[in-house]
Amino acid sequence: MRIAILGAAGQLGRDLCPRLASLGEVIPLSRADIDLRLAENIVPTLTKHQPDVLVNCAAYNFVDKAETERDTASLVNAFGLQILAQECAVVDCKLVHFSTDYVFGQNATRATPYREDDSPGPISVYGWSKRFGERDVESASREHLVIRTCGLYGVWGSGGKGGNFVETMLRLVGEGKPIRVVHDQRCTPSYTVDVASATTELIARGATGLFHVTNSGDCTWYEFAQEIFRQSELKPDLTPIISAEYGAVAKRPAYSVLSTAKLASVLGSPLRSWQDALAAYLAERQQKPT
């Protein structure tokens, strides 16, 4: 099996590459190989490498900037992806695409995890662009796999954004600054190692359709910060705030916990708890080469 990974140098891509190698030849692709803003380089790259599976980790993921950079977000997350999906279908290449919990949010009173068959309702430009991308992948071919995940963090950081939530929290402690974190957004922070391992297993089993892939359990971002500091044996000046006080440009879902019952039915068990995943991350980051 030949597996191409677009966005191979990102925090999820870096964890996917060694795990997907167990299934066959891995072909890492960068923006220079396929830039979703430039449709003309998609066909030549697919023709050159002839992958059986293409895993798309590339995305425009600047949630706040998307509110003013609507065209760029839509071009990468929807229109460019539509062409990629169509061309993958033409050459009989299975497309595996990552989406987000931000396709939900309109139901302000939701308090139970979203299933794959629940109707999406984004509340931000970023969320809408990702939802349109999902639909483009789904309509291009039945041989697709769309994976919604949430709050990714991995030791390789998020290249375009620079770091991740865990690293941001630890950096702020090091700077001695008071830390304010929202306590009215509930989701499931997910470790890229676990998401990559589950994705590899789904591909190995020939899974198709839509799956939610996150660690188990849920928390607010404030509760996540508390656990980061507890496990790191740190006691910073940490204060819970509401989203309105934080003042982000884009709206975030108040509740976007994803049900992983479908995933567990295929893999035989759910992924480990977000607390255990965090402990594994903190251990891994100590061993990461500089």
Residues assigned a catalytic role: 126
- Output the CA torsion sign for 236, 65, 111, 190: negative
Amino acid at 241: I
Answer whether 75's CB lies under 8 Å from 37's CB: yes
Answer whether 152's CB lies under 8 Å from 192's CB: yes
Strands 219-220 and 186-187 turn out to be antiparallel
Q: Which helix (H) or strand (E) holds 266?
A: helix 261-267
DSSP codes, 204-235: HTT--EEEE---BS-EEHHHHHHHHHHHTT--
Burial of residue 118 (CB within 10 Å: 0-12, 13-18, 19+) is middle
Q: By C-alpha distance, which of 154, 168, 182 is closest to 14?
A: 154
Cα of first residue to Cα of last residue in the chain, in angstroms, is 32
Q: Which helix (H) or strand (E) holds 167?
A: helix 165-174
Amino acid at 85: A
Burial of residue 63 (CB within 10 Å: 0-12, 13-18, 19+) is buried
Read off the DSSP letter of residue 31: T
